[in-house]
Structure 1
């Protein structure tokens, strides 16, 4: 499947702007006395310095280092490019270039060479490593005493504290309803009339159908 080429508006705009800036730098260098291939080398030098400074700026910012030098050379290249664009816009007579501009154009190769060299060969500032923590002696931390005495061994039985058991709580008296006591009295009287003996707690529990504790409490009241 063939890949289709789609024009990118941003890329087209960048190409047009670069071509115009390139032409303006060439015209200015040629007007300042740089003829032939030298006039074409000036825009290449300015654009390369601008790209190199931008790439160095991005790498320094990504590494967290200072990007002051990269910003300086990026500004120098940008001022050179903008200056050429403004100078060739009709504000400067290219047939009669002033001497100070001729000096700037003639000195640009040395300035661009210096900037490119510093951008390429300047090492990145290493990140300051944290100082290692010095080990602390164990004796200093625990405050060892010279008057250490060995353990005397387990204490004698007489020296150990005596733990007394807690007293058990008293059993709460079980409340018996008066009606149940009256009924139990009738049952106990009937039992005595039939057997001649007082009724015991087990028989009372069976006749009344109550728990053993309740039967004991009722038997205690009937005694």
Structure 2
């Protein structure tokens, strides 16, 4: 039976790059392409990166209960299509939702059989460096993202698993291990929230 996964992280933690690598290494895994009201960037393709829709269209979909979750992030609306997710699951494809903690709460109410994973940076300094290194945002936007990151990270304890993205290859291996265990009747204890919270308690205090 196919599985549904939530992967959440503050902006700059490398979530998108990790998910791309996961997809490259697995033929039975896909990402649910979100709907959004934000403007597309020059390198983005409608239907591939996002389904870009108007605010009116998005609100119409909300009224029709078309989303398993939706939220406003940085003044734009984002939502995950119930139909697209169910279509993939019915085709025996494991599905990843790249969403935040607000969306994760909603999905757990709508689709209880979901595995949730939260990705954290190894430090605030590294997170800031990564945001600056992307070259996508001005200083004001980066500071706003850093402020939002603290709020995002404070909800890490609402997730099933915790992964620290200090080394990309190690973080990828950890994610692959968690997803590979999804058909088992037990948690992969190395990366469970309980174990990781104890292992990284000093880091968690500094981040939050």
Output the TM-score relative to the length of structure 2: 0.24
Larger Rg: 1
* Larger relative helix fraction: 1
- Structure with the larger RCO, 1 or 2 (CA within 8 Å, 6+ apart): 2
Output the TM-score relative to the length of structure 1: 0.23
* Larger relative strand fraction: 2
